[in-house]
Amino acid sequence: MRVNDRHYRTIWVDAATPQVINVIDQRHLPHEFVIEALTTVDEVAVAIRDMHIRGAGLIGATAGYGMYLAALHADSGQFIESLRAAGKKLKATRPTAVNLAWAVERQLQAIAVAEGNIPAKIKVARETAEAIANEDADFCQRIGEHGVGLIEKISKDISQDTGQGAARDTVNILTHCNAGWLAFVDYGSATAPIYAAHDRGVKVHVWVDETRPRNQGARLTAWELGQHGVPHTVIADNIGGHLMQHGLVDLVIVGSDRTTYTGDVANKVGTYLKALAAHDNGVPFYVALPSSTFDWTMRDGLKEIPIEQRDGGEVRYIQGLHEGDLKKVLLTPEKSPAVNYGFDVTPARLVTGLITERGICDASEAGVLGLYPEKS
């Protein structure tokens, strides 16, 4: 995507120093645009755990590049063992995000079967990391191509006065958290159809949930939509249901951090409540995700998907810009404890459909395996 009229991906190999991986440090957005240089697997682990970078696809891509850095610094006498230890360290950072473990395992397998000496295996590690990143961007672009038709159809429908209300020319879409370009390598998942529609001249407006406690919607989704020129409005997390009750939401599109092959969706905490409100008000609720986000081993998302618990301090404190500086302030009584579940699970019965790089399917075992028959 473009930032101040220059194209960026969220992660890339430094052109002058290929032993350095550059990422956009999202802790500073929207007030500062900061590029962070990562040089070791330990730095990558911190960047993932402390959310310098975040989002399912980008976590996977960053893990892939982290394994490349691990290969660069691995003990030559225990090369594979060193990489396995690095992979274990990366996997422990964000347990709900299945893309992370998928990328680590893909790297370990590619390096293990690579022929030649250690430099040859390092070369394979870099090539695999770049393949993971390129696939992520490509898959997200395809998600946009498949999902844009949903928005175009709604635009056509609402432009005609059905007798139930005045015709409108703008499609109102609600999204939760940030499943945009910043959550992937490029394009995003939930935002890809929105960007595609906007670029085709379809009038869209996005309701952006603030997404407490880290405010990824208010900080990140609003920022990137603004960079792309997409009309949007930031709302408090609990407003979505009210908007749906009054016909002000035509479509909900969210992302996913892990989706079972039966269609249960783990996404940022609060997603389940949006799905309930959408279901109660007859609003289509779609989940956009690349195939790397499917967990092909899990059937029951509510029982099986691990839900990350983060530091309660993220709930008790909030960060913002004050007199030119980023400040963190205490919201709660000083001694009040807080609990901080990072994700919740939306059961498949509440999901209208899944938008993937292969097309749109029902949120069901039959629907998913219909698109991915090789997983049967």
Active site residues: 257
In degrees to the nearest 10, what's the CA dihedral of 231, 236, 239, 240? Answer: 60
Residue 332 in 3-state DSSP? coil
Beta pairing partners, 253: 286
In sequence order, which ranges of the chain are alpha helices (DSSP H)? 41-49, 56-73, 79-91, 98-113, 118-158, 192-199, 216, 222-228, 240-245, 271-280, 301-304, 313-316, 365-371
CA angle 140-143-146, nearest 5°? 155
Which is nearest to 249 in space by CA: 313, 168, 327?
Answer: 168
d(CA 120, CA 123) in angstroms, rounded, equals: 5
Which amino acid is residue 256, in one-letter code? S
Q: Are 82 and 70 in contact (CB under 8 A)?
A: yes
d(CA 303, CA 112) in angstroms, rounded, equals: 33
Cis amide leading into 213 (omega within 30):
yes
What burial letters (b/e) apply to 166-192, b meaning 16+ CB within 10 Å?
Answer: eebeebbbbbbbbbbbbbbbbbbbbbb
- Written as one string, the DSSP assignment of 141-193 is HHHHHHHHHHHHHHHHHHTS--SSS---S-EEEEE-S--SGGGSSSS-SSSHH
d(CA 189, CA 195) in angstroms, rounded, equals: 10
Angle in degrees, 0-180, between the axes of helices 79-91 and 56-73, rounded to the nearest 10: 150
